[in-house]
Amino acid sequence: MSFDRKLTLGVVFAIGMQLVAALVWTGAAAERLKSVEGQLVAQRPIGERLARLEAEMSAARRQLDRIEAKVSAHE
């Protein structure tokens, strides 16, 4: 069994097309990553606000529990 070691124009073309496809795919992946990073930066303040709201709601719930306990004790 032997192989012909000639590099044909078809093989060069196929390798070139694969290289172009890989570069296009890499560019598209980089653009998607850039978009996702931008969205994460934009959502960071929302997450911080949500954490503050959760803390405030927890404090309000504790306060409501204390009020309910006092009302129950006086009945």
Q: Is the pLDDT of residue 1 over 70?
A: no
Structure tokens that stand for 26 in this block: 């890499």
CA dist 10 and 23 (Å) reads: 20
DSSP state of 2: -
CA dist 61 and 67 (Å) reads: 10
Full-prediction pTM beyond 0.85?
A: no
DSSP state of 4: -
Note the pLDDT of residue 3. 65
In single-letter form, the type of residue at position 18 comes to Q
More confident residue, 4 or 71: 71
pLDDT digits (tens, 9 = 90+) for 13-58: 999 999 999 999 999 999 999 999 998 888 888 888 999 999 999 9
